[in-house]
Amino acid sequence: MKKNQSRSNTIPTMATHFPSLSRADNIATNVHMFIEDIQLDIMPIGGRSRQKNFLVEFKGKKTECDKATEIIRELGKIKAYDNREIVCDAVNNIVRNLVWDGQAYYEIIKDKKQVYIKSFTSKNLYKLFGYYLQIIPKADRTIWNRKFSFANQSIVWEIVIPKSLGGVKKYQKLLKQMSRYDNLGPDFYRENLNSGLIEKDFDFMKYRRNNKIYIDSATKNWGWNGRNWTQDRCTEFYTFYRMLNFKYAQSLLREHVIDQINCLFKRLSIKCKLKIKGLPTSKKILKIRKKMEIGELSFNDVSEKVQI
């Protein structure tokens, strides 16, 4: 499965991105932090885990495992030979694409000797009668030299936020909720600050407190702490309880992505299974939380056990 084929055989059907629809500069502070934090502890960076028993395995015949390894390389960004490193990179990259909108799409491109997996944007994408229709914004048509893209679902791999974490619609709703109020204050307050004006009648600290209550409520099922470890107006137990809930959500997401990668192998008729061992599973984290609740584990013990 060497990459020695001509580029003409591997040009994607779907447009990978739309610069005119980019919202990177306009994304709310809370949403940006939330998305970043989800990605941080999915898989060990560079394959280097704090857990001594961390192991990545490809189960199957060597020829099949070699094919699976090439797919993993396609899903990641780095060039490496260590299985732990390339798998961690691939899973982290998938999650990075997934958490922006709750869904990620990849085009499967085949030629005689190689399978290529290319990500493409979920924006302006519609599923119709077994096909994916991608409407290209007018401002981006000169980039892609067309008005739309059309692909059979047989060449598209779709991965979405799992139902165990609320599914796509609830996740997208959550991102919208988190975008309503900015940590740095409402629009008029920030505009006045930029102009050098100070709002004497605006209680910024009260706004921040109310905003934190709102964000904590919105992200309750995820357990995100909003990067607040001060324990202001909450107990140490509550802080660790939310931390464990967030670790639990991350482990669910990791397990879901690994499961979907194995489904992709099966879809490509690759008789190999990817297995991850040594990282805290969702079931293990629930047990850790239970032991913390009844006082069998200290907060330090909890922190050590859930590290990746």
Rounded mean pLDDT for each run of 10 residues along the chain, 308 residues in total: 47 94 79 95 95 96 97 92 95 97 97 92 95 97 96 97 97 95 80 77 86 93 90 88 97 99 98 98 98 97 96
Q: Which of 99, 96, 100, 70 is nearest to 83 (CA)?
A: 70
Query: Could you tell me if 72 and 90 are in contact, meaning their C-beta atoms sit under 8 angstroms apart?
Result: yes
Asked if residues 248 and 58 have their Cβ atoms less than 8 Å apart, the reply is no
Which segments within 62-166 are labelled E, that is strand?
103-110, 115-120, 125-128, 131-135, 148-152, 156-160
The predicted structure's pLDDT at residue 8: 46
**Distance separating alpha carbons of residues 43 and 83, to the nearest angstrom:** 13
Residue 276's H or E segment, with its range, is: strand 272-277
pLDDT of residue 276: 98
- What is the C-alpha to C-alpha distance for residues 238 and 243, in angstroms, rounded to an integer? 8
Report yes or no: 76 and 89 within 8 Å, Cβ to Cβ.
Answer: yes
Residue whose tokens read 């357990």: 223
> Residue 293: its pLDDT value, please?
97
What was the pLDDT predicted at 25? Answer: 59
Tell how many helices (H) and how many strands (E) occur in the chain. 10, 8
User: Containing H/E element for 272?
Assistant: strand 272-277
Contact 13, 151 (CB under 8 A): yes
Q: Which token pair is 230?
A: 């001060």
Q: What's the pTM?
A: 0.91
Contacts of 171 (CB under 8 A, 6+ apart): 102, 161, 165
Distance of CA 266 to CAs 64, 66, 127, 215, Å? 11, 14, 23, 40
